[in-house]
Amino acid sequence: MSTRAGRIIGTRARGTVSVHCAPLILPVTSPPIRDGAVVVRGDRIVRVGPRAEIEAAHPLLSPVRWPGMIVPGLIDAHLRLDRVSAAPSAHGVTAVGGVAADLDAASVLGEAGLDGVTYLETRCESEELWEDEGRDRLITAIREVDHPGVIGIAAHSPDPHVMEDLAVLSRTFGLRLHAEPGRHPVGFLDEVGVLGAGCHVAISGPLDEADRKLLGVRGTVIAISSPFAAEGLLDGGSAIAVGTRTGGDPLSVARALSHAPGHDRLLVEALTLGGARALDMAEGPGRLGSLERGGRADFAVFAVEGDERDAYTLLLHEGPGRCVATFVGGRARWRLDETADADAADAAANGVTPVNAVNAVNAGDAGSRRPA
């Protein structure tokens, strides 16, 4: 069970309703919808379906009309927060599995208005140092971190006794774990009790068949950040997510993982639902990674035109660099708009005044991007 440090990011008044329309809606957990709409109340999605039906059900609302397609917010399942140089929301990212080396880095997600898990990194080199000061320092950091989202532990110590204690602490405090097989063999991580459904791993190199099988048995999601690491993981037999490590566009990272058309849907699902599973946010009220009733209103708009039959391929291959807007908990966090004031856009997108977003794009013009 994930532990939050405070109020959920982006929570809005439940009575505020808005309708977002686009030529294509990609819910991920259900078939793509041509000429569709998403109804948002506060920070939750209350309905997804054909635009005509939704507009008939909400005749007094002026819908926000977007170009291209509306998709679930992308999830960067492995990002070093001390290396973030640009807002992840500019790429359609609404949640992050972020590794923080210190308390300053741990504040990055909250300051950016993003959801996800902030993993406090622990590299304590010996059991003696851990007993003397490491454990107390980590517990203090967990209590003091200025971040309203979920807190976890990045278990990166080389000492097996420290790693065992980190696994115990994670279960005691209800914290998620993050580990990197590049630092420790998968078998070692299993022996010290790190692996399991409460952990996800990030890899930059290939895993052998035995390691892949063990991670699958333990229910551990694998975040992939390079084509080299994707070897043997795109056959649908492993639970995968995508991580950028140093920021940037996760769609570009996912696109580079494979050139086989048969993998397009798998990779888009890894960017959305797979990332949500890695962070334990794919189920229950306020879930992420899909567009469905009861989920958090985390979504992104991409200026990609096409048919519902090839929606996944279009998003993966034409989506990089073409994000139009990003919403977290129903609130605009980033928008590409050369003409409208960003604050007015945020108010309009939350039902205060109608806004027509069709003219908000030249999606290929990265120079016109600015935070909302």
Report the C-alpha gap between 307 and 29 in whole angstroms.
Answer: 18
What confidence tier does 347 reach under pLDDT thresholds 50, 70, 90?
very low
Q: Exposure string (b/e) for 62-93, b if CB count within 10 Å is 16 or more? A: ebbbbbbbbbbbbbbbbbbbbebeebbbbbbb
Mean pLDDT is lowest, of 142-146, 150-154, 213-217, 285-289, for 142-146
How many other C-beta atoms lie within 10 A of the C-beta of residue 313? 16
Query: Residue 158: is its pLDDT beyond 80?
Result: yes
What confidence tier does 3 reach under pLDDT thresholds 50, 70, 90?
very low
What is the pLDDT of the chain when averaged over all its residues?
A: 87
What confidence tier does 108 reach under pLDDT thresholds 50, 70, 90?
confident
Looking at residue 14, what is its pLDDT? 52
Report the C-alpha gap between 254 and 221 in whole angstroms.
Answer: 16
Q: If we measure between CA atoms, which residue out of 26, 16, 14 comes closest to residue 269? A: 26
Looking at residue 5, what is its pLDDT? 41
